[in-house]
Chains A and B, each alone.
Chain A
Amino acid sequence: MKNSFYVKITAFFILLTALHTGFANEIKNAKTAYCLRCHSMETLAYRDTVTGEIVNLYVNFQQYQQSNHKHLECIACHTSDSSNYPHPDSVKEEKRYCLDCHKEDSKFIPYQFAEIEQAFNNSVHAIKSPHQFTCFSCHDPHQFKISRVGEKISDIIRYDNEICLNCHASPLHTQLKGSTELLISHQWLPNLMLHWESVRCVECHTPATAGFSHNILPAKQSVKNCVSCHSKEATLLTSLYQYRSQEDLEKTGWFNKAVFNKAYIIGMSRNETIDRWSLIILGLTLVGLFAHGLGRVFTHKRNKK
């Protein structure tokens, strides 16, 4: 009976190894294939004896094949000697950093890694957890793709938001802050789920700059001003204002709606061109009227003489 159990287990591992060997054969690079024989197993992980956390060692082969790093061999980044198993402890001490490769290379200049580094250093992540937080906390180098042009926008949004939610909705996080923490902190957003499905977290949680910033802001400094998005495009503004207005009307009735009108959004009537030209015209009118008045005073005296 006992022997039969061992036979089954052995057969299972032989089968698994065979599967992975065949699978690894798809990979042209022999060294990478060698690593992936083990690291393409979804359950490959260990528990860190110091932190007690599960460290995932799985590399999704499909995603790796589509990533920007697909042409790199594993040992291009993992420089410790990992040729034997079990790997030496030095593997755990490996310090990998995007800018080790990306900073000096002229072909990466358009990606502005120096600015990214600076913005990251100012981010709440780097400030609060300077040692634990690295580029890899958000960007898995085994599946990172800089551009996903052609994909559905909703998929891109989901992909990007999952990066945040991996931590901010993780069991550890909810254990620390409560399972409704995210819901409560975002309660002020009308149509919460629609926002979460249609907007990336980083749109509000980074400073408004021309390009994307890696300076993730503390919650208190994040954008809470609806107009930042909703006045950029007239149709968005309408949907927001009408939603708030309808809500007001239902809650407070006609008279209160007219007098209190909580739907008004700061800045919704702003238009730089109209404001600028109107103020210029008003200023010129004032100057003209003043000059006209002065002219009347002077000519009145002259006419009297």
Chain B
Amino acid sequence: MKPLYLYPLWIRLWHWTNVLLFIILIISGASLHYASARDWFAFDTVMLVHNTAGIMLTIAWLVFLIGNFVSENGKHYRVKFKGMIARLIEQSYYYAIGIFTGEPHPFHVSTEMKFNTLQQLSYIGVMYGLMPVLIISGLLFLFPAYLPDQFMGIGSIWIVAMTHLVVAYLLILFMLTHIYIITTGETIFSNLQAMLTGWHKGKRYE
């Protein structure tokens, strides 16, 4: 079987832009969040970096949204509900046990579907769930003048701050898991290589 061209240039550029922005946002965000008198970076500079990176991430997310709408890439995010639970169990079993006993991958990548169900659901959760919440809470942080003073008796900016914080932690959790999970491809680096070259290769395709 021939190698598959799964990641067009715009997806790769978008992905690596996200990587860079995530790293910048995590470092600057942690620096702002845990700011103290003895910080490595100047507070004002970090704030400028975090806000700029946040706005760029928002643009990147819009590119992803529009790209998925106008290109074929959107099909990978359409959930097939039929047999979904069984596929989820199968994939989870593989990560929990099968991977240690040398069992073959239960999912085979194709141009029709490049994500296994577990992957697909987590990406949908991140891109269509957490990211909009992160972006909206970030924008509300920048323009709180348009918020009501209180929401259900609680100061609304506090709700925004806590939402932004929790989502940020969840996205770090996602990133750690994502970085590890990509090593579970055909070889440790095959998925990473695919995201760099666009071509998905593996023993099966050689």
Contact = CB atoms under 8 A, between A and B. Distances in A.
Partners in one complex: yes
Interface of A: 233-239, 241-242, 245-246, 249, 257-261, 263-264, 266-271, 274-275, 278, 281-282, 285-286, 289, 292-293, 295-296, 299-300, 303
Contacts of B109: none
Contact of B55 (A236, A258, A303): A258
Contacts of B118: none
Contacts of B150: 235, 238
A133 B141 CA distance: 47
B23 interface: no
A234 B155 CA distance: 5
B136 interface: no
A258 B149 contact: no
A296 B100 contact: yes
Contact of A289 (B34, B55, B156, B177): B177
Contacts of A281: 169, 173
B183 interface: yes
Contacts of B34: 270
A237 B160 CA distance: 11
B21 to A, nearest CB: 15
B158 A238 contact: yes
A247 B155 CA distance: 19
A288 B187 CA distance: 21
Rank and list the top 10 A-B pairs by shortest CB-CB distance, nearest first: A238-B155, A234-B155, A234-B158, A303-B102, A278-B169, A299-B100, A269-B161, A235-B155, A238-B157, A289-B180
13 contacts: A234-B157, A235-B150, A235-B155, A241-B157, A259-B51, A259-B52, A264-B32, A268-B157, A269-B33, A271-B162, A278-B165, A281-B173, A295-B100
A295 B97 CA distance: 10
Contact of A234 (B32, B145, B154): B154
Given A259-B48, A269-B165, A289-B176, A264 B141 contact: yes
Contacts of A246: 145
A248 B143 CA distance: 10
Interface SS majority for chain B:
helix
Interface size class of B (residues with CB under 8 A): 35 or more
Given A241-B144, A257-B142, A261-B141, A303 B176 contact: no
Contacts of A233: 155
B164 interface: yes
A283 B48 CA distance: 29
A282 B142 contact: no
Contacts of A282: 169, 172-173, 176
A281 B176 CA distance: 12
Contacts of A235: 149-150, 154-155
Contact of B147 (A236, A242, A258, A259): A242
Contact of B33 (A270, A285, A299, A303): A270
Interface in B70-106: 99-102
B124 interface: no
Contacts of A257: 142-143
B47 interface: yes
Contacts of B159: 234
B141 to A, nearest CB: 7
